[in-house]
């Protein structure tokens, strides 16, 4: 288990967050500033902010599987939707309305589902894996559609109620508690993801992604490590699904739809794979374009997304984060210094 948490080169736990890398604080400061601004006014955009935070968490889970492990998946909605129904049913059917309990319950179940399905499909490679992930999501969607007594079928699962968070903060109409709740969960998962990808385990996955045969030749348990990362990714997507169910109080079949998986992949490509913060930028960019372009033309706004996606893929490697890394010398210097210090310790 030490491979999952020990940083490369024996660097300290906070190696990625030293003073030279204060830019790491930027997204979190902006998120809190947005909350403070909305809290001071009518809070009308807090629900949108909450949706963005959930989408970032969902996209980050895809980055772990697709970006870092090289698992070609278009079925990440399977874990997102499964956890959403699990958290919703725990409240609506079992009467357990504690948000933390529901979140943990759904996250663990999604992680278990990821481990089981990963063990089944990760013996294959490439397009075969992609088709199998699609098949799993489709199977779960049909089960949700037919199991009306539990899921409500195409009518959706309603009747979800949430007790005050930690017995103190009520989920109000404006979504103030929900926003901070989602932000804290995202922060915790981001720290976990950061430690995983910068550990020997994460570095070995980078080698597996580039050349699995060579990694097998040097004795790396390729299959087990892929299954482990897939399970972590599934658990993260499950947390996003649970947050969605708990904060919207309704779950429909759309959470298991192919479109849900496709959109987060587009968001990830826009922001940049294997960069963690690419999920933040990709989701924000997609949301802004969707909001303003759809106001101009509600039928063809996706045209702008398509043009931007083609431009980034054809002319810029690594999405918008790749552009930032290319033109921000301070970012390059901080990254080089962090690697040097990590290897020297």
Q: Is the pLDDT of residue 235 over 90?
A: yes
For the stretch 160-175, pLDDT in tens is: 999 999 888 888 877 8
Q: How many CB atoms lie within 10 A of CB 123?
A: 12
Computed from CA positions of residues 283, 288, 293, 299, in that sequence, does the dihedral angle turn out positive or negative?
positive
Task: Report which of residues 189 and 325 the model is more confident about.
Answer: 189
Higher-pLDDT residue of 62 and 42 is 62
Q: What mean pLDDT comes out for the span 16-43?
A: 78
Are 278 and 320 contacting, i.e. CB atoms less than 8 angstroms apart?
yes
pLDDT given for residue 17 in this prediction: 44
pLDDT at residue number 290: 85
To the question of pTM greater than 0.85 for the whole model, the response is yes
Residue 238: CB partners within 8 Å, gap ≥ 6? 79, 80, 82, 83, 86, 106, 107, 108, 109, 110, 111, 113, 114
pLDDT at 329 over 70: no
């Amino acid at each position: 288990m030490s491979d999952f948490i020990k940083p490369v080169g024996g660097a300290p736990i906070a190696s990625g967050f030293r003073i030279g890398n204060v830019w790491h604080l930027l997204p979190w400061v902006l998120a809190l500033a947005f909350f403070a601004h909305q809290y001071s006014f009518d809070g009308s955009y807090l629900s949108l902010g909450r949706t963005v935070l959930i989408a970032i968490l969902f996209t980050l889970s895809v980055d772990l599987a697709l970006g870092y492990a090289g698992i070609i998946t278009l079925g990440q909605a399977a874990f997102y939707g499964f956890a959403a129904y699990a958290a919703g049913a725990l409240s609506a059917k079992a009467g357990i309305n504690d948000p933390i309990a529901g979140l943990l319950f759904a996250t663990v179940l999604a992680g278990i589902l990821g481990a089981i399905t990963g063990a089944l499909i990760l013996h294959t490679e490439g397009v075969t894996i992609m088709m199998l992930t699609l098949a799993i999501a489709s199977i779960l969607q049909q089960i949700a559609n037919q199991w009306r007594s539990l899921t409500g079928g195409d009518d959706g699962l309603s009747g979800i109620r949430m007790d005050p968070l930690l017995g103190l903060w009520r989920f109000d109409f404006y979504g103030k508690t929900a926003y901070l709740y989602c932000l804290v969960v995202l922060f915790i998962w981001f720290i976990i993801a950061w430690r995983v990808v910068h550990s020997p385990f994460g570095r070995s996955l980078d080698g597996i992604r580039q050349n699995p045969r060579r990694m097998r030749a040097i004795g790396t348990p390729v299959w087990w490590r892929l299954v482990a990362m897939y399970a972590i990714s599934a658990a993260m997507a499950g947390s996003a699904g649970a947050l969605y169910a708990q904060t919207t109080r309704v779950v429909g079949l759309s959470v298991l739809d192919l479109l849900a998986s496709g959109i987060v992949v587009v968001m990830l490509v826009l922001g940049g794979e294997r960069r963690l913060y690419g999920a933040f930028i990709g989701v924000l960019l997609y949301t802004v374009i969707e909001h303003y372009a759809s106001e101009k033309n509600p039928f063809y706004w996706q045209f702008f997304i398509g043009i931007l996606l083609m431009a980034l893929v054809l002319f810029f490697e690594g999405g918008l984060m790749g552009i930032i890394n290319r033109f921000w010398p301070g970012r390059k210097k901080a990254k080089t210094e962090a690697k040097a210090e990590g290897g020297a310790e």
